[in-house]
Copies of this chain bind each other. A is one copy, B any other.
């Protein structure tokens, strides 16, 4: 929290390419030393295992460290902080999602018309967020961080591109943010669990919103 931020690599690809994250899933980090790489996977496995047992909220750094057979300092060196570790775990699970909408089959993948892909993207996201809401919410100590994370930027770029391909004019950048906001894990959790709303209604709202946004051309 103090000092001018040490080297600190966090997750591989956390820094990403300079500005060209247009269509690549996630660039790998700058190559770790052999032992570091080994420990990294050990730590992620241990964390994943512990989380399955105790839940993401009860995951302690010390427990992860000793389960992986390393010291606590190592965990912090690798992931920066607790949130960094959780984000790394999350990133790993997001690879499948990214593959689905970047290179998968229609209607999500590139072989479908843009508007159709956009419609299909919402429910996919909502379900993904719901399935991992525990981890996602646990990883959200600093809200600012979520927008900076590569996975989030990728989603945003993707939606923005689809909007443009669908012929939507106007501020597609902010429209994409609006659309994505409706799939936020905290919101979905609040609606479905806290207020007992069926998931179908949330999905219907997505389709409705896409129609309202794409229907007119500003």
Question: Which residues of A come within 8 Å of B, CB atoms?
Answer: 137, 140-144, 146-148, 170-171, 174-175, 177-178, 181-182, 184-187, 189-191, 194, 201-202, 204-205, 208-209, 212-213, 215-216, 218
Contacts and interface: CB of A to CB of B under 8 A. Distances in A.
Contacts of A201: 171, 174
10 contacts: A140-B143, A143-B143, A148-B194, A171-B204, A171-B205, A174-B191, A174-B201, A175-B209, A181-B184, A212-B218
A189 B144 contact: yes
B208 A171 contact: yes
Contact of A174 (B140, B147, B182): B182
Contacts of A185: 143
Nearest to A182: B178
A178 B147 contact: no
Contact of A187 (B171, B177, B182, B190): B177
B178 A209 contact: yes
Most chain B Cβ neighbours within 10 Å, of A140, A146, A187, A189 = A187
A147 B194 CA distance: 9
Contacts of A216: 212, 215-216
Given A144-B189, A174-B205, A178-B209, 8 more contacts: A143-B143, A147-B194, A148-B194, A171-B204, A174-B182, A175-B209, A208-B218, A212-B216
Most chain B Cβ neighbours within 10 Å, of A171, A174, A186 = A174
